[in-house]
Structure 1
């Protein structure tokens, strides 16, 4: 199927990569910072913090890559199966499929005669594309590359996780806790602003959302580490 040509660029066209990028960076930043906060609460030494931070960065990036690869591959397989099934139905009973397409347009408000006319015109143009878009809900060709999605997700995670790791490397022990909190919340605020800017949404709401969840994650992780240390 060919991509639709439209002079306007809509924010929704960015949804897939925006979601993956923000989710990856957000996950990397919060999960790694929360882990380090928990270890700080347990009064773990600097060496253990460095090892934990680097391990979390590598393991998290690989996990994100594997998850995105499997997710994209599974979605593509399902969509291809739907297209193959629709292609067979069009070969076996084109008239019934034409009637099905016309009924879809009729349900959207067209008169029966006009719905039939539109269905016939789109069928002549590209019958599989018309059914894929209006019956199955696929708006464009399946062209997502699972490997590309995997490394993009891993890179996004690393971009988030590297912040608390660098803080651990560069900050003196006495300032580590406030530095972790400040850098994490600043990073989350930046992610919220960026996602809102790219998605055309209000920035304040996006920033507040991420900051609230960041405070909760960091606070609970610190208390969990402190509590675990008290049990030993």
Structure 2
């Protein structure tokens, strides 16, 4: 029997890819923001305790901010999904024939003939009308609504993991090497996250890596220059 050569990814796979992409981007944010912070402080002082304090403060503030923002965003999405399901349930109760015709039309738009679309719509409606309309019309899986706690936890963890790299690279090596160790570690990590995010999005890897590395390098250069100026001024 001939096997299909290509197909649309199943919904659970798409969901996992979205989570993985969000994790990579969260880690990338942690790397860049914390690297910019500790490199900027390093431009003003070489004191290890000051660098550690600034880095930890940036890590905690950034991870909490990411988690809170993701929680609010996904909570809003979940509320919108629930509201849409309530509206759809009411419409199915008040005008079932119109909803059946709407589902038939949506299935026709997906390439089915009128007769097949009508038969499929009838069968889907008899099995579970709300789930059918949620998936086909709204693009929602009623069994897997967005979870704000999961999103917040994932963002917190991803940012923290990313932020630990520049923080440890700055405070662990001796003073004479810590700046270059940090810069090289950060640029290497940004090369990887740029490549991985491009791979997940099926985009050209070279361009994504170049953008990522250039952005991180610029952030560190600007904050280091600012820190150096403030340190020289005795601020």
- Pick the TM interval, shorter chain: 0.7 to 0.9
8 Å CA contact 1:102, 1:115 repeated in 2: yes
Q: Which residue of 2 aligns with 1:207?
A: 209
Q: Which residue of 2 aligns with 1:156?
A: 158
Does residue 191 of structure 2 align to residue 180 of structure 1? no
Q: Which residue of 1 aligns with 2:31?
A: 29
Does residue 129 of structure 2 align to residue 119 of structure 1? no
Gapped regions of structure 2 (runs ≥ 5) = 1-6
Q: Which residue of 1 aligns with 2:3?
A: none
Task: After the TM superposition, list the runs of 4 or more consecutive aligned residues in structure 1 that deviate by more than 6 angstroms.
Answer: 6-10
Does residue 75 of structure 2 align to residue 73 of structure 1? yes
Deviation at 1:151, TM superposition (A): 1.9
Matches within 5 A, 1:33-182: 33-43=35-45, 45-139=47-141, 141-182=143-184
RMSD: 2.6
Cα deviation, 1:141-200, whole Å, max 9, x if unaligned, reads 234432222222111111111111112221222222211111111122232344456666
Further displaced range: 222-231 or 185-194: 222-231
Partners of 1:165 and 1:204 lie apart in 2 by 27
Deviation at 1:140, TM superposition (A): 5.3
Summarize the Cα distance change of 1:13–1:143 in structure 2 as closer, same or farther, 3 Å threshold.
closer
- What is the number of equivalent residue pairs in this alignment? 227
Gapped regions of structure 1 (runs ≥ 5) = 1-5
TM-score, structure 1 as length reference: 0.84
Summarize the Cα distance change of 1:106–1:199 in structure 2 as closer, same or farther, 3 Å threshold.
closer
TM-score, structure 2 as length reference: 0.83
Summarize the Cα distance change of 1:197–1:112 in structure 2 as closer, same or farther, 3 Å threshold.
closer
**Corresponding residue SS for 1:174:** coil
Cα deviation, 1:83-142, whole Å, max 9, x if unaligned, reads 111011101110011111112223344333333222212212221111111211214523
Q: Which residue of 2 aligns with 1:224?
A: 226
